[in-house]
Amino acid sequence: MSGSAVPPSRAIFQPLLAAALAEDLGLAGDVTSEAVVPASATLRAEIVARTAGRVAGLTIGTAVFGMLDDGIGVEVRTADGEDAPAGSVLATVSGPARPILTGERTALNLIGRLSGIATATRAAVAAVAGTGARITGTRKTTPGMRALEHYAIRAGGGAGHRVGLFDAILVKDNHLDLAGGITAAVAAARKRAGHLMSIEVEVETLEQLGEALAAGAKIVMLDNMDSPTLRRAVEMTAGRAVLEASGGITPDRLAEVAATGVDVISLGWLTHSAPALDVGLDVS
């Protein structure tokens, strides 16, 4: 099954591409291409998936070529959210040779990174198929790239999580210590939150879960619980709150966790440990 997601706007990703190019070019520019490639040279190249995977970030990554030279043409062959077999052509790039070579690594790094996240998410979603559990990411993302990495998760078939500290209240252990406990923290959060803002409470024990439910929490994060404890938490809650399992969950444990009946499984692994998809640029 393919994933679908609305790509981030150009206003989100163009500054990131510009910063990546600035990092690569420094003050001297692409000294190799300028030294050995004639200024008049043109080329046609293919962006190829060296290994099979789920594609994400293709239109975002290839936008770097237009930033370098508006005479470069890009034809996307595989849409984000689609699966690509090994050896398939994802896009073609044609035009002035120097700027194509200059943008090559920035484009491939971004496409490979986002496609790797999408591929890992696709596998995670498949592992929990039929259980009703949704797969989401976390805030454990590459600084500056969260919008893109969360987009890749959605392209892989995963669900959205909070974007940042600003769009949802998630009361974690350190907050609880400073707020005076779960009941006090939930009450304080309710006073601050608008009617459209969700409030989630992190708990580590079944006793804390009971307090969170009594305080009226509608979303509860079950942190680092083993599967029998998760199963008991689902029984205790009996549908009164959305339950999110999180903390140290790896791909090999997904099916087991999903079978406990939790509603959501959040994995930092998707963005901090998923391997990049191997993609290359081949001159045709």
Active site residues: 105, 140, 172, 202, 223
How far is residue 224 CA from its own chain's centroid?
Answer: 21
Place of tokens 């009164």: 240
Place of tokens 């609880």: 176
Place of tokens 């669900």: 159
How far apart CA 13 and CA 106 sit, in angstroms, is: 12
Quote the crossing angle between the two packed helices 58-68 and 10-25, to the nearest 10°.
60
Comparing CA positions, the residue from 96, 95, 94, 103 lying closest to residue 29 is 103
Q: Are 13 and 148 in contact (CB under 8 A)?
A: yes
Q: DSSP character for 61?
A: H
**Residue 223 burial (C-beta neighbours within 10 Å; 0-12, 13-18, 19+):** middle
252 contact partners, CB below 8 Å, separation of at least 6 = none
What are residue 79's phi and psi, to 5 degrees? -75, 150
Q: Which DSSP helix (H) or strand (E) runs through 21?
A: helix 10-25
Q: Are 112 and 278 in contact (CB under 8 A)?
A: yes
Comparing CA positions, the residue from 177, 172, 167, 163 lying closest to residue 201 is 172
219 contact partners, CB below 8 Å, separation of at least 6 = 198, 199, 200, 201, 241, 242, 244
Which structure tokens are listed for 253? 């444990």
